[in-house]
Amino acid sequence: METIKLEKSIKEIFEKGKYIVPLYQRNYAWRRKEIEQLLQDVYESYESFKKNRNSNYFIGSLVVLKRQNGDYEVIDGQQRLTTLSLIAKILEISKHPCLFYDSRPEVEAFFKEFYTSGDIERIDYPQIMHLKNAVMYINEANLDANNISSITINNLPDKDKFIDYFSNNVKLVLVEIPEDTDVASYFEIMNNRGVQLQKHEILKSLLIAKLKDNEQKEFAQLWDACSQMDVPIQRLFNENLRKKYFGDKYDSFVSPYCDTTETNFPLIQHESFSIEDILQETADKGISEYQNEEDDEIEEEASEYKSIIDFPNFLMHVIKLKYQNNIPLNEKNLLSEYKKIKKNVNPKDFIKTLFFCRTVFDRYVVKTIADPNEEDEIKWILQKPTKYEKSWKYTNTFNDPEQYRIIKALSMLQVTFRTRINKNWLQDILKWFVENGFSLNVDAKDYIKKLDAIILKYYDEQVIIKNEPLSEGECINKENSYSSGTNTPHFLFNFIDYLYWVDSQYNNVLGTKKELTDFEFKYWNSVEHHLAQQYAKDIDTDGYSNYIDNLGNLCLISKNANSRLNDRSVQEKCERSKRNKMGPNRQIMYNETKNSNDTYTWDKHKIKKHYNELLELLSKRREILK
């Protein structure tokens, strides 16, 4: 019986034929870290090979399905294969592109230009930015992790020998699955075993399988655009499609599949296809490619922002919104929850809701951008596309002062409920827009009312404080006051900061306008006792623990700041934090600590006074947020 040789050298892989990345696969996503690690591992193996001449380097597996025309459909290993194809071109191991894509003409254009001329600077589609960056990372990578001086792929002293080693001694395990394989079941097995294919990629293939041939391409393109959470969605379409989906001014929402005359997505009648058909290319025939244009009308690059949520969790929001109101927002349940509702899921209706929610998310939910001037080097932004006569750019979603207040409310919710599975507030926002008839037109004041209602609901449900203000002669104890110490919910601190800020900026319901400097909500995560325990004994020998854990003595800071300030005197804390952008509650506490004669005290009287002020603030929360 003939033994089947599974391991293949890089040279053998690229001589084997054409590899096709199908519709359901995600976009290329490797970054500098993964690319540099791969090259360093290969180089370390090469150095070992020079000494003993028998060292091959196995780089992982590549799972493919042979199509009827002889091409190989990439089932698993796409990220690795794409990176290797870039390296093979740079090292001139491969002269012609061997990697092709279903319905991604901009990516194929990149590879064609890269292999033909090597000039990729003039290709400027958002979809291929990671590929352009990957070429840069490959050329810049320091191959020898133990060497201070940089050894790159282009300045190797024995480059020809390294190329020969890379071609013949770097190995992949090539696995061809049989033509009659139940690929959907295979995906499930791979996913359960932790292989690269992700749940949202499986869901994409299952939904595409329900569509007719002429409908699949539009679905795949919209899905891919929605999945790139860190790129403004309008940037992911050429000018024609941008107008198709967002109107002439790029500021509205047009439902997918509503225009049967659109030439970019010709409607060709075909029979429907199963998942196996799609994965074996049957459903790929008859879809004509559209030529993506360079976006030469963009006036400036959109901010390089970071989304507060990833795509799998965003899909859970859409499923919860449309089909399962009581499910937890945990992407681990993505496929199991889909199985419960799959009979009720219309893919075109699903992609419409997903696309709309993603458009809302881009325009009405905060993102972060890098800002070295900030304490944690991030800044909150809220932007929308703005079209001019011959150009367009991203501007603030709302006018001031509404823009400023909405950012405060959204960032307060985000820093409080930062984990993906706890973002019920985001679900409430998306639901509000969907119930508004899939319209992007929202008044700033109405949006503020909605956000404040969400915030007040959290307070009313989770941290109601029913204590009465303490009288002048009354001492604090745990029975008559809110004194939970480090167990105080972080939401309460952020809510107090928000109330103080809104009152100082707008209403002055309290009647004593506080002098507050500007601040931004940060990922503060540590409860700080302003008066530290070692000093508390001096203020009340009998009941100091009641004062130290009282809400009037507490504020929220970062863990780093807490470790620096722990057990410091109140004077040291105030003096060390002069330049920090503190939250309003902490600002007020520090201002009250400093006396008119430049001395610093924070005793039981000041703690009780501040606590009573907090009770008044919370009791007037609805007036402040009116």
What single string gives the DSSP state of each residue in 15-62?
A: HH--EEE-TTSPPP---HHHHHHHHHHHHHHHHHHHHHS---EEEEEE
Find the largest Cα–Cα distance for the chain: 96
Query: In 3-state terms, what secondary structure has residue 379?
Result: strand
Placement of tokens 């009312």 in the chain: 449
Contact 342, 452 (CB under 8 A): no
Predicted confidence band at 614 (pLDDT cuts at 50, 70, 90)?
Answer: very high
Q: What is the pLDDT of residue 284?
A: 35
Task: Say which range, 284-288, 494-498, 501-505, has the weakest mean pLDDT.
Answer: 284-288
Q: Give the total residue count for the chain.
A: 626
Give CA separation, 120 vs 113, 114, 610, in Å.
6, 6, 62
Give the whole-angstrom CA distance, residue 475 versus residue 550: 12
Mean pLDDT for the chain overall: 82
Give the whole-angstrom CA distance, residue 535 versus residue 523: 28
pLDDT: which is higher, 205 or 521: 521
Give the whole-angstrom CA distance, residue 254 versus residue 559: 46
pTM over 0.85, yes/no: no
Residue pLDDT, tens place only, 300-345: 445 578 899 999 999 999 999 999 778 888 888 888 889 889 899 9
CA-based torsion, 109, 112, 116, 118: positive or negative: positive
Q: What is the pLDDT of residue 468?
A: 87
Predicted confidence band at 191 (pLDDT cuts at 50, 70, 90)?
Answer: low
Distance of CA 35 to the CA centre of its chain: 21
Give the whole-angstrom CA distance, residue 212 versus residue 270: 7
Residue pLDDT, tens place only, 57-106: 888 888 888 888 888 988 888 899 999 999 999 998 888 888 888 878 88
Residue pLDDT, tens place only, 403-459: 999 999 999 999 999 887 779 999 999 999 999 889 999 999 999 999 999 999 999
Structure tokens at 406: 């909405």
Give the whole-angstrom CA distance, residue 186 versus residue 585: 55
Residue pLDDT, tens place only, 221-267: 899 899 999 989 999 888 889 999 999 999 899 988 865 333 333 32
* Average pLDDT for 449-476: 90
Residue pLDDT, tens place only, 154-177: 888 889 999 999 999 998 888 888
